Amino acid sequence: MTLIDLGELSAPSDPQPPRRRPRRGTPRWPVALMALAVLVVLTAAAPPAARVHATVPGGLATDLFLSEDHIFTVTPVRGVTDGSRELTAYARPRRATVTPQRLVPLWRMPVAPGIRFFRMEDTAAGVLLSLVPSQDLGRSSETILLDAATGQQRWRSAGFGTRDASGRVLLQTWAVQQSTTLRSVEVATGRELWSRTLPPSWVEHHQRDGVIDAIVVSTAAGDVEVLDARTGQLRDRLPAADSTGYQQSSVVDDLLLVVRNSRTITAYDLAGLVPRWQTTVPLADHVTRCGALLCARTNRGGTHVIDPVAGDVRWSTSEDGDLLRVTSTRALAQLGESGLVTLDAATGEVVTEYGSWETVASYEQELRLLGIHLLPEVGAVLARLDPAEAQPRRLDVLPGVVGDCQSRYDLIACRRQSGDFGLWQLPD
- What is the spatial distance between Cα 183 and Cα 11, in angstroms, rounded to a whole number? 30
Is residue 413 over pLDDT 60? yes
- The pLDDT of residue 173 is 86
For residues 4-42, one letter each, b for 16 or more C-beta atoms within 10 angstroms of the residue's C-beta and e for the rest, the string is bbbeeebbbeeeebeeeebeeeeeebeeeebbeebeeee
**Cβ(299)–Cβ(283) below 8 Å:** yes
Q: In the CATH hierarchy, which top-level class contains the domain 124-240? A: mainly beta
Q: Where do runs of H (alpha helix) occur along 22-62?
A: 31-42
Q: What is the pLDDT of residues 72-128, one digit of tens each?
A: 999 999 888 888 899 999 999 999 999 999 999 999 999 888 887 778 999 999 999
Name the more confident of 15 and 370.
Answer: 370
Residues in the chain: 428
- What is the spatial distance between Cα 244 and Cα 76, in angstroms, rounded to a whole number? 46
Q: What is the pTM of this model?
A: 0.82
- What is the spatial distance between Cα 396 and Cα 382, in angstroms, rounded to a whole number? 5
Q: What is the pLDDT of residues 39-86, one digit of tens each?
A: 444 444 456 788 999 999 998 889 999 999 999 999 999 888 888 899
Is residue 22 over pLDDT 50? no
- Sorting pLDDT into bands at 50, 70 and 90, what band is 244? low
The closest alpha carbon to 237, from 218, 221, 253, 265, belongs to 218
Q: What is the pLDDT of residues 198-219, one digit of tens each?
A: 888 889 999 999 999 999 998 8
Q: Where do runs of H (alpha helix) occur along 132-224?
A: none
- The pLDDT of residue 46 is 55
Q: Give all strands (DSSP E) within 134-210, no chain letters.
A: 142-146, 153-158, 160-163, 168-173, 180-186, 192-198, 201-208
Question: Quick one: CA torsion of 401, 404, 407, 411, rounded to 10 degrees?
Answer: -30
Q: Concatenate the DSSP letters of all residues of 346-360 into one string.
A: TT--EEEEEES-EEP
**What contacts 263, CB < 8 A, 6 or more positions away?**
280, 281, 282, 283, 284
Average pLDDT score over residue span 354-367: 78
- The pLDDT of residue 14 is 33
Q: What is the CA radius of gyration of the chain?
A: 23
Is residue 274 over pLDDT 70? yes
Average pLDDT score over residue span 141-156: 95
Lowest mean pLDDT among 54-58, 208-212, 293-297, 386-390: 386-390
Domain edges within the chain: 124-240
**What contacts 253, CB < 8 A, 6 or more positions away?**
289, 308
Is residue 265 over pLDDT 70? yes
Q: Where do runs of H (alpha helix) occur along 162-233?
A: none
Tell me which amino acid residue 128 is.
Answer: L
- What is the spatial distance between Cα 343 and Cα 331, in angstroms, rounded to a whole number? 5
- The pLDDT of residue 221 is 81
The closest alpha carbon to 55, from 424, 422, 425, 426, belongs to 422
- Sorting pLDDT into bands at 50, 70 and 90, what band is 384? very high
Decide: helix, strand or coil at residue 39. helix
